[in-house]
Protein backbone atom coordinates (compact mmCIF):
# COMPACT_ATOMS: atom_id res chain seq x y z
CA UNK A 1 0.00 0.00 0.00
CA UNK A 2 1.35 3.41 -0.97
CA UNK A 3 2.02 5.62 2.06
CA UNK A 4 3.46 8.77 0.45
CA UNK A 5 1.48 11.02 -1.92
CA UNK A 6 3.89 13.95 -2.34
CA UNK A 7 2.50 16.94 -4.22
CA UNK A 8 4.51 18.69 -6.95
CA UNK A 9 4.28 22.47 -6.76
CA UNK A 10 5.45 24.98 -9.37
CA UNK A 11 6.90 28.17 -7.90
CA UNK A 12 6.86 31.09 -10.34
CA UNK A 13 8.81 34.34 -10.13
CA UNK A 14 9.93 37.22 -12.35
CA UNK A 15 13.37 38.82 -12.58
CA UNK A 16 13.96 42.51 -11.89
CA UNK A 17 12.72 44.96 -14.54
CA UNK A 18 15.62 46.33 -16.63
CA UNK A 19 16.04 47.94 -20.09
CA UNK A 20 15.11 45.29 -22.68
CA UNK A 21 18.48 45.67 -24.41
CA UNK A 22 20.25 44.64 -21.18
CA UNK A 23 17.93 41.73 -20.39
CA UNK A 24 19.37 39.15 -22.84
CA UNK A 25 21.92 37.82 -20.33
CA UNK A 26 19.71 38.03 -17.22
CA UNK A 27 19.71 34.74 -15.33
CA UNK A 28 17.11 33.28 -13.01
CA UNK A 29 18.09 32.63 -9.38
CA UNK A 30 19.81 29.30 -8.59
CA UNK A 31 17.41 26.37 -8.91
CA UNK A 32 14.97 28.21 -11.21
CA UNK A 33 14.53 27.62 -14.95
CA UNK A 34 14.01 30.52 -17.36
CA UNK A 35 10.80 30.06 -19.39
CA UNK A 36 11.04 33.24 -21.48
CA UNK A 37 13.44 33.76 -24.40
CA UNK A 38 15.50 36.60 -25.81
CA UNK A 39 14.91 39.88 -24.02
CA UNK A 40 12.03 38.45 -21.97
CA UNK A 41 8.57 39.95 -21.56
CA UNK A 42 8.09 43.72 -22.07
CA UNK A 43 5.52 44.05 -19.27
CA UNK A 44 7.12 46.31 -16.67
CA UNK A 45 8.64 49.71 -15.97
CA UNK A 46 11.97 50.58 -14.38
CA UNK A 47 13.10 53.90 -12.91
CA UNK A 48 16.07 55.93 -14.07
CA UNK A 49 17.25 58.81 -11.87
CA UNK A 50 18.86 61.79 -13.61
CA UNK A 51 19.91 64.46 -11.10
CA UNK A 52 16.59 65.61 -9.57
CA UNK A 53 14.32 63.78 -12.01
CA UNK A 54 13.15 60.18 -12.01
CA UNK A 55 12.01 58.73 -15.32
CA UNK A 56 9.71 55.71 -15.53
CA UNK A 57 10.68 53.75 -18.65
CA UNK A 58 9.30 50.57 -20.26
CA UNK A 59 11.46 47.52 -19.59
CA UNK A 60 11.63 43.75 -19.78
CA UNK A 61 11.89 40.88 -17.32
CA UNK A 62 12.13 37.11 -17.49
CA UNK A 63 9.76 34.56 -16.00
CA UNK A 64 11.30 31.72 -14.03
CA UNK A 65 9.88 28.51 -12.53
CA UNK A 66 11.07 26.02 -9.96
CA UNK A 67 9.54 22.62 -9.27
CA UNK A 68 9.17 21.84 -5.58
CA UNK A 69 7.96 18.60 -4.05
CA UNK A 70 5.73 19.06 -1.00
CA UNK A 71 5.93 15.96 1.25
CA UNK A 72 2.47 14.59 1.94
CA UNK A 73 1.04 11.35 3.27
CA UNK A 74 -1.67 9.44 1.41
CA UNK A 75 -5.14 9.29 2.95
CA UNK A 76 -5.20 7.15 6.09
CA UNK A 77 -1.49 7.73 6.83
CA UNK A 78 0.14 10.36 9.04
CA UNK A 79 3.31 11.59 10.69
CA UNK A 80 6.82 12.15 9.39
CA UNK A 81 7.06 8.50 8.22
CA UNK A 82 3.44 8.31 6.94
CA UNK A 83 2.51 5.51 9.30
CA UNK A 84 -0.81 3.71 8.72
CA UNK A 85 -3.41 2.13 10.99
For 13-57, write each residue's pLDDT tens digit.
999 999 999 999 999 999 999 999 999 999 999 999 999 999 999
Would you list the domain boundaries of the chain?
A: 7-84
The closest alpha carbon to 59, from 72, 46, 48, belongs to 46
**More confident position, 11 or 2:** 11
Q: Is 10 within 8 Å of 32 (Cβ atoms)?
A: no
Backbone angles phi, psi at 66, to 5 degrees: -140, 130
Amino acid sequence: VKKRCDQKLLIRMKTKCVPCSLNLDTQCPAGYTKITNGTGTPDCRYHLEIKTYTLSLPGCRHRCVKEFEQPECCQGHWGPDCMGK
